Structure 1
């Protein structure tokens, strides 16, 4: 039972995910999917019919595309996130109150996360690692103590 090929999948995915606004793009895309699914709801569930034309289907598709483009083209994340937030607000009028508020909120939060993502940011250090480093720094002898054997 060798685990050779599977060992590299998870670290590779983590590295790919760290180089882009993953959660922002995912939430924006999920918001678009949710709004699209509520358009197919039965008439008993629909609260607000809105403009049941092209805009009812176009805006959630644009949300979905912006989410995917944020994932696969993070260099243009600012443009896609601004379009995503505007389109998410537009679903309020065109698509069952923005997919019963769920798709609207997913799109807004995802767009804001993508807009605020910084590509050159240092990776986060876990709390456990920070505690270990602080404990090691407290217990390590002072540099002058090691050289001279006396306290400073």
Structure 2
């Protein structure tokens, strides 16, 4: 490889790493990966000893709907990081809803799809940017009312402050 190619690849990797750090990337990836088995296994044709078993029934239609929504939620985690809590809860609810579908309820789907979907949704709910996490040993920022939010006031002084504002 030439130096110019290495620079382009290095720049691409750095740009992707920066993009990935600004959103719940792994949550979206796990959610999208969890949608695959939910859509695939109800329509899979299993062949054993010349006998083909096909489970393409009307009961499998909701699994396509749920998997399409999980893919959309996973992409939303990547491209709309501001709605990560709503999308994460939606991914958890849809993954749990797919548990009751008769076409999806088998061991492989449970182990792969449900764990990926649940972990992806939980990661999306718990994700935060590195800028919003306070560094160890740093002081909390003050709010406009003078309270630092860190519990520097005692309980009695807070209750007396509330009592004095209620009596006015």
Q: Same fold by TM-score, threshold 0.5 exceeded?
A: yes
Shift of 1:49: 8.2
- More strand per residue: 2
CA contact (8 A) 1:69 1:80 kept: yes
Looking at structure 2, the residues matched to 88 and 51 of structure 1 have their Cα atoms a distance apart, in angstroms, of: 19
Q: Counterpart of 1:96 in 2: which secondary structure? A: coil
Looking at structure 2, the residues matched to 88 and 66 of structure 1 have their Cα atoms a distance apart, in angstroms, of: 11
Q: Counterpart of 2:18 in 1: which secondary structure? A: helix
CA contact (8 A) 1:50 1:96 kept: no
Looking at structure 1, the residues matched to 105 and 56 of structure 2 have their Cα atoms a distance apart, in angstroms, of: 9
Inter-CA distance 82–71: structure 2 relative to 1 (3 Å threshold): same
Looking at structure 2, the residues matched to 118 and 50 of structure 1 have their Cα atoms a distance apart, in angstroms, of: 41
Question: What is the TM-score when the length of structure 1 is the normalising length?
Answer: 0.70
- More helix per residue: 1
Tell me the equivalent position of 2:71.
Answer: 64
Tell me the equivalent position of 1:121.
Answer: 133
> What root-mean-square deviation, in Å, do the aligned CA atoms of Structure 1 and Structure 2 show?
2.5
Tell me the equivalent position of 2:122.
Answer: 112
Instruction: Give the gaps of 5 or more residues in structure 2.
Output: 136-168
Question: What is the TM-score when the length of structure 2 is the normalising length?
Answer: 0.64
Aligned pair count? 122
